[in-house]
Amino acid sequence: MSVTNDPLAEGSDILADEDPGSGLRSRRVRFPGYDTQVGPLGHLADERRRLDALEWQHFDVHRLAATVGAELRGVDLTAQLADPVIEEIRGALVDYKVLFFREQPLTAEEHVRFARRFGDLEVHPFIPSNTGQPELVRFAKSADVGGYENGWHHDVTWRAEPSQGAILHAIEVPRTGGDTLFADAHAAWQGLDDETKATIAELVAVHDYMQAFANQVPPDKVDETRAAYPPVEHPVVCRHPRSGKELLYVNRFFTSHIAGWELDESRALIDRLSRQFDQVEYQCRFQWEPHSVAFWDNRAVQHYAASDYWPDTRVMERASIIGDRPAR
């Protein structure tokens, strides 16, 4: 005969007859005393189902998360791809917001050639380039060069016409760490309460390279650089030019303040909106291998490069495609 000291062994003190999440469905609940909610994010369901139904002719797709991120298989980016393949990749980018490719041993020239199929390319004034290809920004991290991109941001929103997309190629990666995360800017907007959506609908934010790159400008070039790249204004909520979806378009890296608001009030709102991208359910996470490639829609997602590999080496090269001015 077995003996137990467990007072619940016979079920006499079990009070529940259903799962704690029963009845939540798309409803979320808040922990008492905390600004923290749990429960399903029901606003993701329609987009998730839509993406489930998509079919593609020139590649296979393995999705990474509910509404963002897909690995495309069966495409050789080192080749001169036919126009129909490029057009299908362009369409997939709109749908999945960020695309990933494995085992793509691109040369610098091939990287630039592929990127140019989607538009003219930027030259970044504040980050060193691959010396042979000025269109390729080179991120070479080591024990002496730390990773500082570990914050949610859209790239170059300090430009009057920020990049429409970026293509990042892994040259050398650490054995562990150095992943890049991407978050869906439409899901982030959808997840706001109605009052906040109404508050920000017509707001304009000021973006300024000085937020992140002030120390990259030599003292004798400050006036010249400021004249070339003055602060610019973009809507806090813009619309994607192809999908028509509303996108949350502020970030701590480059957004200095809300036009017409006091600085403290501006920063509080920017910080609150930026925290939307912390929601794990809006994200996908990509683990790099040598010669992996990520291609993201710079308006539809924000990204975050995990800086957890120091003092190891991580070398990446990025080509950015010139975009147009964000609009409501």
Active site positions, annotated: 153, 155, 303, 318
Using an 8 Å Cβ cutoff, are 328 and 249 in contact? no
Q: What's the Cα-to-Cα distance from 238 to each of 154, 164, 225, 254, 299, rounded to whole Å? A: 13, 13, 27, 16, 9
Q: For residue 139, what are the β-bridge partners? A: 316
How far is 66 from 63, CA to CA, in rounded Å? 8
CA 288 to chain centre: 15
Transcribe 43-93 into DSSP letters: GGHHHHHHHHT---SS-EEEE-SSSS-EEEES--TTS---HHHHHHHHHHH
How far is 261 from 256, CA to CA, in rounded Å? 11
Using an 8 Å Cβ cutoff, are 96 and 284 in contact? no
Tokens of 42: 């029901």
How far is 258 from 46, CA to CA, in rounded Å? 32
Residue 305 belongs to what H/E stretch?
strand 301-305
Is the backbone peptide bond immediately before 20 cis, with ω within 30 degrees of 0?
Answer: no
CA-based end-to-end distance of the chain: 74
Using an 8 Å Cβ cutoff, are 132 and 289 in contact? no
CB count within 10 Å of CB 266 equals 20
Q: How many residues does the chain have?
A: 328
How far is 95 from 237, CA to CA, in rounded Å? 19
